[in-house]
């Protein structure tokens, strides 16, 4: 028998019975849709206890430190798969066969080039513009190039949109960097893998070829896998809400990028690196640990803690290992910032304050060190996150529009403004 919950009212109003749904995993969910018909809404700012949709893409168990894409643990995907397979998996629900993977990779490669006129869109920005500002603008501008004839409710059209975005966003990101640097744009090279191609567009120039290092390319590919999706976070929910009206998908992905850019979301890896620079020496760590624990000091240990993970972020363990691989490859094991990071982690994990609050290093704690070692500037960190997360955004957008019960997203509110009052003509208003 289906479990239900009964809502009773202190004023004697008739009680309401609500169904309880249970997903494959996770906490049971009270389906409150019937409440509206009874004259009630629920109030949950920040969606701390609200499921906004059903989804079969990603599952997180923050208490246990688990992350699954389509049922596959992130560890297995990170070590045994690659980003192209993961994109296919998120979008289609299954790992590809050899033929499916070949066709998918071919299609992504086929779409990496930007429309020639898009160069003019880049040139309209200030040279010093933040790469994320440029990415949001240029990705949004894709809606001007791919709009007529696009039917969001046609699954085949949606797949083409998804392929275009997965393929073109790395080109947009690399070109945003080149524009900052005052260097010519480098065209994608389709013989290269996804990560190698991005490195080629970032680091080669017309006068100097760039040979992607396979260890660094593999590390980048793994970072893309780790960041590909994270269920209904702020940017993904933004993409879903924007897309729920049937809006142009390129504009919707640009809105997701805008949300990701915020320092509470995708901007944390930049903050970690700034903090490590500020600490500067292992001997100063105890001072910063004390500051992090001091409630009168606004300083927090960047890269520690997570809204959902109250255990080790499973991505952090993988990226820590990747960090070792990259620093070994580049002969940077003695990198002072890496040493500070390791010591900070050791001290924090033994400290009662951090243990009691379940504050573990998160994925951002190490990604900045890896990017910096690869020569990627701090201003590009969130852009790389956006590139990787594009796969999740398009998969979630596609899933939402595939649902026959799909509705436009329209939250309610608890109005706390003035009650009805009479209009006062201008000459009769008092200060
Ligand atoms: N350093 C020191 N103390 C911390 C930290 C930290 N990094 N994070 C949380 N705390 C403390 C809080 O002061 C609070 O202490 P109290 O109970 O004594 O008042 C307690 O831990 C709970 O903190 P909340 O802010 O309520 O936890 P919440 O889940 O809301 O915050 C967040 C999560 C925002 C990630 C927080 O841990 C933080 O600011 N971390 C640093 C920034 C960071 O690394 N962000 C990246 C997140 S990962 C990602 O976006 C991919």
pTM exceeds cut of 0.85? yes
Torsion of the alpha carbons at 132, 137, 139 and 145, rounded to the nearest 10 = -160
Residue 35 has pLDDT above 90, yes or no: yes
Residue 352 has pLDDT above 90, yes or no: yes
Q: What is the pLDDT of residue 2?
A: 85
Q: Quick: pLDDT tens for 207-241.
A: 988 999 999 999 999 999 999 999 999 999 999 99
Q: Is the CB of 357 under 6 A from ligand 1?
A: yes
Look at residue 122 and give its three-state secondary structure: helix
Test site for ligand 1: of 291, 305, 367, most ligand atoms within 8 A of the Cβ: 305
Q: Other C-beta atoms within 10 Å of 339: how many? A: 14
Q: Quick: pLDDT tens for 203-216.
A: 999 998 899 999 99
Average pLDDT of the residues of the chain: 94
Q: What is the pLDDT of residue 91?
A: 98
Q: How far apart are CA 216 and CA 312, in angstroms?
A: 25
Locate the ligand 1 atom nearest the alpha carbon of residue 230 and give its number: 51
CB proximity list for 413: less than 8 A, separation 6 or greater? none
Q: Which of 194, 200, 227, 306 is catalytic?
A: 306
Q: Quick: pLDDT tens for 280-311.
A: 999 999 999 999 999 999 999 988 988 888 88
Q: What is the pLDDT of residue 308?
A: 86
Q: Is the CB of 361 under 6 A from ligand 1?
A: no
Mean pLDDT of 95-117: 97
Give residue 357 CA to ligand 1 midpoint distance, Å: 9
Q: How far apart are CA 232 and CA 73, in angstroms?
A: 18
Q: Quick: pLDDT tens for 58-76.
A: 999 999 999 999 999 999 9
Could you confirm whether 11 is annotated as catalytic? no
């Amino acid at each position: 028998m289906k479990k239900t919950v009964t809502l009773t009212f202190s004023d004697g109003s008739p009680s309401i019975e609500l169904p309880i749904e249970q997903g494959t995993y996770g906490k049971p969910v009270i389906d409150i849709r019937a409440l509206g018909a009874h004259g009630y809404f629920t109030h949950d700012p920040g969606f701390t206890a609200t499921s906004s949709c059903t989804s079969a893409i990603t599952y997180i168990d923050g208490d246990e430190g688990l992350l699954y894409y389509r049922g596959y643990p992130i560890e297995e995907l990170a070590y045994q798969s690659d980003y192209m397979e993961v994109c296919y998996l998120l979008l289609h629900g299954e790992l590809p066969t050899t033929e499916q993977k070949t066709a998918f990779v071919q299609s992504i490669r086929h779409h990496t080039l930007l429309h020639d006129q898009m160069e003019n869109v880049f040139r309209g920005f200030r040279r010093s513009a933040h790469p994320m500002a440029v990415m949001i603008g240029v990705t949004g501008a894709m809606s001007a190039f791919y709009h007529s004839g696009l039917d969001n409710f046609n699954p085949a059209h949606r797949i083409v949109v998804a392929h275009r975005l997965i393929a073109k966003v790395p080109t947009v990101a690399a070109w945003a960097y080149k524009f900052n640097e005052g260097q010519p744009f480098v065209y994608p090279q389709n013989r290269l893998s996804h990560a190698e191609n991005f490195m080629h567009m970032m680091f080669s120039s017309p006068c100097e070829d760039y040979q992607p290092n396979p260890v660094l390319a593999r590390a980048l590919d793994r970072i893309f896998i780790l960041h590909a999706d994270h269920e209904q976070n702020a940017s993904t929910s933004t993409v879903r809400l924007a897309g729920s009206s049937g809006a142009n998908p390129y504009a919707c992905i640009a809105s997701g990028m805008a949300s990701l850019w915020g320092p509470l979301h995708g901007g944390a890896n930049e903050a970690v690196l700034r903090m490590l620079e500020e600490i500067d020496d292992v001997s100063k760590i105890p001072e910063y640990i004390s500051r992090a624990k001091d409630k009168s000091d606004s300083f927090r240990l960047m890269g520690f803690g997570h809204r959902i993970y109250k255990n080790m972020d499973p991505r952090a363990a993988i990226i820590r290992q990747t960090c070792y691989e990259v620093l070994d490859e580049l002969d940077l094991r003695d990198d002072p910032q890496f040493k500070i990071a390791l010591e900070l982690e050791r001290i924090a994990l033994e400290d009662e304050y951090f243990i009691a609050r379940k504050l573990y290093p998160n994925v951002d704690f190490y990604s900045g060190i890896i990017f910096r070692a690869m020569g990627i500037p701090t201003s590009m960190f969130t852009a790389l996150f956006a590139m990787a997360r594009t796969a999740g955004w398009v998969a979630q957008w596609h899933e939402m529009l595939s649902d026959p019960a799909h509705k436009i997203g329209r939250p309610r509110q608890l109005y706390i403004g003035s009650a009805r009052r009479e209009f006062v003509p201008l000459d009769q208003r008092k200060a």
